[in-house]
Chains A and B, each alone.
Chain A
Amino acid sequence: MANESATPLLEVENLAVEFDTPAGPLRAVRGVSFEVGECETLAIVGESGSGKSVTAQALMGLVPQAARIAGGRVSIEGRDVAGLSDREWQALRGERISMIFQDPLSALNPSLTVGYQIGEMFRRHRGAGRAEARRRAAELMALVGIPDAERRLDDHPHRFSGGMRQRVMIAMALALDPRLLIADEPTTALDVTVQAQILRLLRQRQRAERLGMILISHDLGVVARAADRVAVMYAGRIVETGTVAEVYERPAHPYTLGLMRAVPDPRDIGAPLEAIEGRPPDLAARPAGCAFHPRCPFARDVCLTDDPAPHEFHAARASACHFAEEVIAHGGN
């Protein structure tokens, strides 16, 4: 759970990310604010195109070529990262903030052994020699649950299963003892029993090292299992935040409520699913007012014209809906 007293490891304020397109700049992320504390997991949940992955990339200073941070502030351990040079970013990445991805194979070099790639973290950042790097790589591999670590140092990535590759990625991400880990759909490509292993491993490492974690996911079940707090994203903005228990029990945004009702309810088997009609807007043709209004059963005139800013309606609970209280009352059970 969040450590209330400490300065947050990560503070994001009013973040905006824009893509350059032939038709002009396209705002993929707007007005995004959140904090992550030590030993805490914040999940950012949303469907494809919601802006969750772009947000994660922005935190790492890794926005795609055609994109740029168009506004807002990101502070890592109290340090504003705006205007950091490439060299400063390289010192930050891995050392203070790390990231793992859905597909470890695309992040690992297929022609180098796993031991070499993990060891490289120590050679490059810590000036370790070959033998030292190799020894520490083996230690890390054992720590993340790769059986027979010593022997597997000399294997190439393709010799590992998907789950084992994700463990290799986690080992590399944690090699330099960062304070923050961003996990972007870390288990989406994995089978459920392997997913459970990886989620457990992340939880164990988080507790042992008091990591702050951001879990990017489209899976409400994974979020329920792994996160302390959740931020729901829709069309580039956070529409609701709160503790997982609060948000899941009493959604305060119609989109969140819609997502919950679109998933089979484990406590009401066979109950008809309520689909959210339509689909998320094209960011180039973002509806006026609240971006969710064309799909929203609660929408009224004001929603067509006024884009509601996220407002806190009680401690650590915010919703970007004009009718948050009404939504809560509607979804309450």
Chain B
Amino acid sequence: MEVPGLFNYWMAIVLMMAGLYTVIARGNLVKKLIGLGVFQISVFVLYITMGKIKDGTAPILPASGSAEGVVFSNPLPHVLILTAIVVGIATTALGLALVVRIHEAFGTIEEDDIQAIEESEA
């Protein structure tokens, strides 16, 4: 059983578009942030797939003996994505704090309700 050549990339793109559509089409601010999270993980999947080498193993050197003949997957995308995960949680936390503040100020977290309130006040 083989993974067809570009299958992982295509699935990552499908996930990406599901996240993007959630951000565009849903008015609820919490839902938008979760959509952003879906998008984010799809990008991680794309990167990690690029680092995979067939029949490879995790890039951890053996404690003793030589690593001759062992194929290691590429560690560089792993490092980049580790950074991205942590930055992602920081932005999510900030976004959720903003949602809580918006709810305090407007009493709703629905985009169109907020817009209606702002227009009636203007």
A and B held together in a complex: no
A-binding residues in B (CB < 8 A)? none
B-binding residues in A (CB < 8 A)? none
